[in-house]
A = this chain, B = another copy of it.
Amino acid sequence: MSDIDVAATPPVGGMDHHVSVDPAAVEPRAAADGGPDMVQLLTPEGERIPHAEYDEIVDALSHDDLRGLYRDLVLVRRFDLEATSLQRQGELGLWASLLGQEAAQIGAGRAMRKQDHAFPGYREHGLAWARGLDPMRLIAMYRGVDKGAWDPAEFGFHSYTIVIGNQSLLGTGYAMGIQRDGAVGTGDDARDAAVIACMGDGATAQGDNNEAFVFAGVYNSPVVFFCQNNQWAISEPNARQTRAPIYKRADGFGFPGIRVDGNDVLASYAVTTAMLDRARSGDGPSLIEAFTYRMAAHTTSDDPTKYRISAEVEIWKLRDPIARYKRWLAHEGIADAEFFDAIEQEADELGEHVRAATVGMADPEVGDIFDQVYVEPHQQVADDKATFTAYQASFETAEGA
């Protein structure tokens, strides 16, 4: 047909451009649904799907509990939106929005008992809320007033962790401590404890998370790995982080993995409850993949229009976690318009409180730079603090003079 020798034509840029795997070929597109293995109790339309294993857990919830979940979802979303707008107005250095992931986090957080411990990343505002952490602590961190200075012991909620993967190992070690305290499998509901260790979809690629799987498996430790697959790691889709669906990772480490609809608060609650029970009773670790979507930018510094199409976001809007839950509550007659209005009102108040408290937040003590580097005195830090203090004082003297 042609006298051009095709084989001899050098590929563009010296490369064969067919070597990359087409992401679409190995993993469903981000807009895809979670597939048949996904545990879903509430459809996006708010219809309740029966489930042999999990109905019992959900059915045990009182109407108060169920309304409480709704309240959590709405308040956390409002808080998050307020934080985003505070950042836009220059009041925060950065904000990582949880928009779209409320159900995954509230479901998991409310499945925890007092004695359980959560090891979060940097986007776990819903989990923090469920653990009783004052949201202003999160604001303080993103405002740059501190680095996340709460006491984990107080809330069973550990430091926000920015370095991807680190917290899973900390959580696993903590769970090893629970074992050594004899607080697993005693049957005492107030004693047996477990850990939730959070990770994102992108984070599953990190060595630390896989080592956490190894340790938890080998020691049969009471830790639930809770992966929020929000489809994106900044600009990279799932297919750039793993070739297999995330929940399938667990099996090769010797424990169960489950995919749950992360936009379904009942499913997230039920599956997490079951896995925490399993852990507390001594049956070891598990991996929950909460299939959800990051509706906002990665953080306020990010511009998602560079890498994802809005049609995808539109599809996920139809799967909104709050809308479906509200529909179901109303349809079942568990909550009425008055209740919804009251929550709306409370949300407004929370928003206003957060705004006022942020704007009025005191700057940190300058001593913070030096004072908690070590528990016990350290000569070089002490010397630097003295130099710093004298240096600062020299200005005051100069100004005073």
Contacts and interface: CB of A to CB of B under 8 A. Distances in A.
Interface string A122-147: 00000000000000000000000000
A218 B243 contact: yes
B244 A19 contact: no
A239 B184 CA distance: 21
Contacts of A388: none
Interface stretch (A29-37, A82-90, A223-231, A252-260): A252-260
A98 B254 CA distance: 29
Residue with the highest number of chain B CB atoms closer than 10 Å, among A242, A252, A257: A252
Contacts of A219: 20-21
B254 A26 contact: yes
A16 interface: yes
Interface string A188-219: 00000000000000001111101100100111
A68 interface: no
A309 interface: no
A140 B207 CA distance: 33
A207 B169 CA distance: 12
A248 B252 CA distance: 5
A208 B179 CA distance: 28
Q: How many copies does the complex hold?
A: 2
Nearest to A249: B252
Interface string A104-123: 00000000000000000000
A244 B217 CA distance: 8
A220 to B, nearest CB: 4
Contacts of A218: 21, 26, 239-243
A242 B253 contact: yes
A153 interface: no
Contacts of A306: none
A52 interface: no
Nearest to A184: B19
A364 interface: no
Contacts of A220: 21, 26, 243
A204 to B, nearest CB: 8
A250 interface: yes
Contact of A19 (B19, B182, B239): B182
B206 A211 contact: yes
A251 B181 CA distance: 35
A200 B16 CA distance: 34
A239 to B, nearest CB: 7
Tell me which of A210, A219, A242, A251 has the highest count of chain B C-beta atoms within 10 A of its own C-beta.
A210
7 nearest CB pairs, A to B: A207-B207, A243-B254, A16-B182, A217-B243, A210-B210, A244-B254, A19-B179
Interface of A: 11, 15-16, 19-21, 26, 179-182, 184, 204-208, 210-211, 214, 217-220, 239-244, 248-255, 257
